[in-house]
Amino acid sequence: MNTNTAYVHGYSPQESRRLGDQADTLAGLLHAGTAYAAGSRVLEVGCGVGAQTVHLARSSPGARIVAIDRSAESLAQARAYVTAQEPAAEVEWRTADLHHLPFGNAEFDHVFACFVLEHLPDPGRALAGLRRVLRPGGTLTVIEGDHGSVVLHPDSVHAHEVIRHQVRLQAAAGGNALLGRALQPLLSGAGFDQVVVRPRTAYADATRPALVDGLTRKTFIAMVEAVRDEALRTGLSTAADWDRGIADLRLAAAEGGTFHYTFFKAVAVNPQG
């Protein structure tokens, strides 16, 4: 990620756990259909603490993965985590800025980016850099969420308002929490070919307790709760209004509650010639 861009979720131990919970809960949904041939060279950008790297390595034994992140501390966590989970994985770890990639032209067969573009003020510029290091005919896979896709039961204007506060704070940090809906025009505008976007819908209710815990509570609600202090500091909300919204949001994870969220997974090809 751009070193001048704030990561709105922060780098706390709680955020590391949230990223791991999110990746493990959604691995089947988000990684289905992504597998790279043994020997292929794969660049994962913005790998963070390695939460997605584990699943990449697991789905693509023998692929040569280069995982980059701007945070050396996150990379150290990622190395330890992946080594413990997938000791046979062939991963090279590099501290690097997405806007200044230290690689030659056409160096990679595939590029993978999960929940990265949403944090960038100019994702089109980042995509141009990724095209440069991707060989002609190589593929780019991008996964993003879209907070505007949230559907709750019981519904609550107060719950939706705290979600909007998170969206506003991410925008203030230079990102876009609604990016999922824009992937197709974004990738096409960056010069990629054969862009295919497939929505991946996550739905949790009492019949799916693992998703209620892993998606609704530990991934989404935890993410929104984490920006409370910033929302109050910037005057977006009062403590009373915030707490009411979070209480209503938690009802979606309670008995009789439901939660729906749509992720968008795009695969595109770097054109030949």
Q: What's the half-sphere exposure (Cβ side, CA atoms, 13 Å) at 21?
A: 20
Asked if the structure places residue 107 within a domain, the reply is yes
Cβ atoms 111, 45 nearer than 8 A: yes
What CATH number has the domain bearing residue 210? 3.40.50.150
Whether the pLDDT of residue 95 is over 50: the answer is: yes
pLDDT of residue 13: 62
Asked if the structure places residue 199 within a domain, the reply is yes
SS3 call for 48: coil
Asked if the structure places residue 207 within a domain, the reply is yes
Asked if the structure places residue 41 within a domain, the reply is yes
pLDDT digits (tens, 9 = 90+) for 130-162: 999 999 999 999 999 999 999 999 999 999 999
**To the nearest whole percent, how much of the chain has pLDDT over 90?**
88
pLDDT of residue 16: 58
Domain count, the chain: 1
Find the domain containing 254 and state its range.
Answer: 13-270
Asked if the structure places residue 2 within a domain, the reply is no
pLDDT of residue 28: 84
**pLDDT mean over 154-182:** 97
pLDDT of residue 24: 77
Pick 28 or 18 by higher pLDDT. 28
Asked if the structure places residue 177 within a domain, the reply is yes
**pLDDT mean over 179-198:** 98
Strand 108-114 vs strand 151-153: parallel, antiparallel, or unpaired?
A: unpaired
Average pLDDT, the chain: 92
Asked if the structure places residue 6 within a domain, the reply is no
Cβ atoms 86, 54 nearer than 8 A: yes
Give the closest residue to 103 by CA, choosing from 133, 128, 60, 141.
133
pTM: 0.90
Cβ atoms 229, 102 nearer than 8 A: no
pLDDT digits (tens, 9 = 90+) for 23-62: 678 888 899 999 999 999 999 999 999 999 999 999 999 9
Asked if the structure places residue 263 within a domain, the reply is yes
**pLDDT mean over 156-169:** 98
